[in-house]
Amino acid sequence: MYCVFCEIIARRAPGRIRYEDDDIIAFDNVLRWAPVMLLVLPKQHMSQEELWQTCISKVGPVAVELGRKHCPGGFRLLSNFGRDAMQSQHHAHVHVVGGTYLGPYV
């Protein structure tokens, strides 16, 4: 199955990488709903459920570090589970969203 995130990790697709170590990678989201939209994900392809059950302790600190660095006024960490939550990629990931006042939740 084709996965654009796996393609970015393998450097077969473009992506502006903001962080990388042996297990985790972070890059700019192509969506621009807010001034800062980053994706933080395990390099190993896995589901959202697997991410939260096995490696959120690695992904979480990176997401927080990038949020603090790129959104000093505040940020949100988001993780979508399933179609109704607008999950469009099956490779597990956490969104870092900020760079402006985000307003109330919907």
Query: 86: left (phi > 0), else alpha (psi -120 to 50), else beta?
Result: left
Q: Has 90 been annotated as catalytic?
A: no
Amino acid at 32: R
Choose, from 70, 90, 93, 95, the residue flagged as catalytic. Answer: 93
With left for phi above 0 and alpha for psi between -120 and 50, is residue 50 left, alpha or beta? alpha
The catalytic site residues sit at: 93
